[in-house]
Amino acid sequence: MQQRTTIALLALIGSMFPAAPAAADDEFADGQTWGFEISFGAGWAPETEYTRRLEDFGYSPARGGHYRMSFAVEKILLPYFSVLLQTNLLDNRIWYRPSGIGPDDRFTWNSWALDAHARAFLPAANGRFRAYAQFGIGPTLTGSRLYTRTSTEPTQTEHREFKVSYNLAGLLGFEGMAADHVGFFVYGGYFFAPSLENLLGDRHQGGGGVLMAGLSGRFKRNR
């Protein structure tokens, strides 16, 4: 029974991705060349020397911080190739430390990637679906804030820092058109995004694995 199910599933996948999808009606989304994408999901930034150092200094991570979001604009240039301008919320964390003198000390940061991506895709089922792989590179923008008391005044002081670094991304995804101009997609992959660095030389990697799902809009045919 399980074997039959597997064969049927493989047959279905095989029918969606023919060996040579060169026919004109295989153009994804009926040849619409512009698209925008919005997605939400989860991500897991790795523990690093940077976060271990925070623990050494008495900080503990707050729960959560695994949500991710992404926005992208896509331009299909060739039948199986497109470029995107994509932004991804990467690592966003809050760490606390008991101050012993009132509210806990708090250290927070958010990292955003702003990348140019190259996407290779394979349309299927008369262009209603596609699978894709993409690679991206661009800057990572990280803002951090330390809230701590640095005087006998009872209020905490906020210390902001902003850091620009780089990131590399590799993603695999699947997209289907639910209507002429609206589709849905899922993708997963990995970001390598060195971001924060402390005064002791420890660097954080604010990327990590992501798993996202979202909606896309398609418009503007060439013909």
Partner 1 sequence: MNKQLHFVLPCMLLVTMGSYCETDVIDDPGFQFWCGEELCEWDLEEGEIRKVATWHEHDYAVELVGAPVLLANHADGGLPRCMRVELIADVEPRANLTIEIDYEPDGTSDWTVPVAREGFRSLAWEVYPQGSFPDAVFYVRKLGEGRAIIMQLRASSECEND
Residues that bind partner 1 (CB under 8 A): 53-54, 56-58, 98-105, 107, 146, 148-152, 157, 159, 198-200, 202
Q: Which is nearer to partner 1, 51 or 92 (CB)?
A: 51
Structure tokens at 80: 């199986």
Separation CA 205–CA 36 (nearest Å): 28
Instruction: Note whether 134 and 105 are within 8 A (CB).
Output: no
Q: Which is nearer to partner 1, 46 or 98 (CB)?
A: 98
The CB-of-179 to partner 1 minimum distance in angstroms stands at 48
DSSP string, 158-174: EEEEEEEEEEEEEEEEE
Q: Which is nearer to partner 1, 6 or 198 (CB)?
A: 198
The CB-of-51 to partner 1 minimum distance in angstroms stands at 11
The CB-of-193 to partner 1 minimum distance in angstroms stands at 20
The CB-of-64 to partner 1 minimum distance in angstroms stands at 20
Q: Which is nearer to partner 1, 57 or 67 (CB)?
A: 57
The CB-of-35 to partner 1 minimum distance in angstroms stands at 42
Q: Which is nearer to partner 1, 106 or 218 (CB)?
A: 106
Structure tokens at 50: 């940077």
Instruction: Note whether 59 and 100 are within 8 A (CB).
Output: no
Q: What does the radius of gyration of the chain's CA atoms come to, in whole angstroms?
A: 22
DSSP string, 42-69: EEEPPP-HHHHHHHHTT-EEPS---EEE
Separation CA 147–CA 99 (nearest Å): 11
